[in-house]
Structure 1
Amino acid sequence: MDCRVVVEAAVPVYDVETPDEAIRIAISKTGEMLNPDLNYVEINMGERTSPEGESLPPAFIAADEALVALELEMTVFNVEREEHASRIARKEIGQRLRNIPLTVLEVEEIPSEEDSENEETESENDGSDGDDGDDGDDESDGEGPENGSSDDGTDGTDDGDDHGDDDGDDDLLPEFEEMVDE
C-alpha cells in the first residue's frame, strides 16, 4: 500500500519584519535542508486558526523572530499500515530537519494503479454500452450511416492501435529480460 503523508513543521526564522518575509525564508531554509536527498517532498504554507476559528497567517512574529507553520507532503511506498507510513515520513524528514518539531497531520492511502485501472475499465465498459446504443440510433436516421460508418472505422482503428501497443510492449519485454539476465 502507498500513502500520502502530510507533516506539519514549526520552522524558526530570525531577523524578519513581516509574515510574508518569514514564510519565504522558512520555505527556502526548509528546502535547503531537505535537498538533494528529499527533493520529492512538497513544501506548503501551513494553516493556523484562532480558538474562535478565525484564520491566522502561518507565521507568528515576536521581537523580529518568527515561528512559521509549514506543511511537508511526501508519498511513502510499500507500507503495511498508515501508522507505518507516518513513522517513515517523520523519520525521513526529521533526520534532515534537526531541532524542528514535527507533527503528522494526515495520512491518506493512495489507490493502487491496479485498483484505478479496474475502475477505469468498469467505467469504460459502462460508457461504451451507452455509446453503442447511441450509435445504433444514429444509424437508423437518414444521415446516420455515414457518421456511423466513420465512427465504426475510427473505433476499429483505435482498437487496432491498442493491440499494436500491446504487441510492441510484448516485443520490448523479452529484450529487457535478456538485459537483466546478462
Structure 2
Amino acid sequence: MDCRVVVEAAVPVYDVETPDEAVRIAISKTGEMLNPDLNYVEIDMAERACPHCGEGLDSAFIAADESLVALELEMTVFNVERDEHAARIARKEIGQRLENIPLEVLEIEELDADGEPIDSEDASEVGDASEADDEDLTAERDDAPASAENAASDDGESDDVLPEFEELIED
C-alpha cells in the first residue's frame, strides 16, 4: 500500500522582522536541507490555531528578531505494510536531513493505485495511533538499557562497565 504522510516541522529562523519574511526564509532553508536527495517532498507553511479559542494564528512566531516557523512537509511513501510504517519511514527520511528540527506526524492518507486518497472515516484515528505507537517505541527504548543493566548486575558484573568493553578490561 502507498501512503501520503504530512509531517509538521518547527524551523528556527534568525534575523527576521516580519512573519512573511520568516516563512519565506524557513521554506528556502528547508528546501536547501532536503535537496537534492528529497526533492519530492512538498513544503508548505502550516496552518496553526489557538488551542483554546480556535482562532487562526500565524505559522511564524517572532521574538527578538528570531522566529520559529511551523512548516508542513508532505511526502508519499510506497510499498508500506501499514500507516504506522509509513509514518516511521517519512520521519526517518526527513529527519535525517533536517538535523535538530523537531518533527510531528500530522496526517497519514492511504492512496489507491492512481495516487488518490482513499476515503476513510478513520483518518483522525490513524494520527492518534501513530502517536501512541511512537510512545510505545520510546518506552521500549527506555526499557532496553534498564534490562541490560539488570542482566549485567545479575551476572555479578559491575553496572558501570559497558558490556562491549568488558573484554578489553579483562585483557
Aligned to 1:61: 62
Deviation at 1:112, TM superposition (A): 1.7
Which residue of structure 1 lines up, in the alignment, with residue 153 of structure 2? none
Structure 1: 4+ residue segments shifted above 4 A? none
Match of 2:6 in 1: 6
Provide the residue aligned with 1:44 in structure 2: 44
Bigger helix fraction: 1
Match of residue 176 from structure 1: none
Would you say how many aligned residue pairs link Structure 1 and Structure 2?
116
Ranges in structure 1 where 5+ consecutive residues have no aligned partner: 117-182
Once the 2 structures are TM-superposed, how far is the Cα of residue 113 of structure 1 from its aligned partner?
A: 3.9
* Distance in 1, Cα, partners of 2:116 & 2:105: 26
1:105 matches 2:106: yes
Alignment of 1:1-150 (within 5 A): 1-50=1-50, 51-113=52-114
| DSSP 3-state at the match of 1:5 | strand
Letter in 2 for 1:108: E
TM-score by length of 1: 0.62
Letter in 2 for 1:98: E
3-state SS of 2:101 partner: coil
Aligned equivalents of 1:49, 1:89: Cα separation in 2: 24
Distance 1:115 1:107 in 2: 13
Change in CA separation of 1:63 and 1:72 when aligned onto 2, cut-off 3 Å: same
Separation in 1, partners of 2:116, 2:73:
27
Give me the whole-angstrom Cα distance separating, in 1, the residues matched to 2:59 and 2:114: 35
- Larger CA Rg, structure 1 vs 2: 1
**Cα deviation 1:152-176 (Å, max 9, x = unaligned):** xxxxxxxxxxxxxxxxxxxxxxxxx
> 2: distance between equivalents of 1:114 and 1:62?
41
Identity, % of aligned pairs?
80
Instruction: Return the alpha-carbon distance in structure 1 between the equivalents of residues 17 and 114 of structure 2.
Output: 47
Measured in 1, the distance between the counterparts of 2:98 and 2:8 equals: 12
Distance in 1 (alpha carbons) for counterparts of 2:33 and 2:62: 22
SS state of the match for residue 21, structure 2? helix
Unaligned 5+ segments in structure 2 are: 118-171
